[in-house]
Amino acid sequence: MVKSKLKNRKAKEAFDWLAENRDQMDSNPKNFANHLIIAVGQLVISRDLIKNVMKKLFKDEIITSNEYERNFQRFENLSNEQLPTVVLISNILQKNCAYFQADAV
């Protein structure tokens, strides 16, 4: 319960920071992204949103069909209780999709 309250407080602080520092999205994208993941990282992504995001990423050639099948197709048949969080999808993209690994080299 203490951990949950701490996460909620940190998420609120991150939301507040985002609201006050919207202008930093372009000038300091890494810091902005860090606050964004703290703010929304623990939110569960709906099945429809996952499908729409994956369609967009595939259409824009950010993920390949092989990367989709290997890493994301499994989410199509999960129950609502098993759906992933924003941070899980983010981690899967970073670790398993070449597009996101190119910057790390």
- Assign 1 a pLDDT band (cuts: 50, 70, 90): low
Whether residues 27 and 62 share a domain: the answer is no
Mean pLDDT of 25-47: 92
* Closest C-alpha among 42, 43, 23 to residue 32: 23
Each residue's pLDDT tens digit, 72-102: 999 988 898 999 999 999 999 999 999 988 6
Helices (H) and strands (E) in the chain, counts: 7, 0
How far is Cα 24 from Cα 28, in angstroms, rounded to an integer? 5
To the nearest 10 degrees (0 to 180), the angle between helices 86-96 and 29-40 is 130
Whether residues 30 and 76 share a domain: the answer is no
Q: How many domains are there within the chain?
A: 2
Residue type, 2: V
Whether residues 27 and 60 share a domain: the answer is no
Buried b / exposed e along 23-33 (16+ C-beta atoms within 10 A):
eeeeeeeeebe
Please tell me what DSSP assigns to residue 103.
G
- Assign 4 a pLDDT band (cuts: 50, 70, 90): confident
For residue 102, the model assigns a pLDDT of 67
Whether residues 56 and 96 share a domain: the answer is yes
Q: By residue range, what is the domain housing residue 23?
A: 2-40
Each residue's pLDDT tens digit, 48-76: 999 899 999 999 999 999 999 999 999 98
Whether residues 89 and 55 share a domain: the answer is yes
Please tell me the pTM assigned to this model.
Answer: 0.77
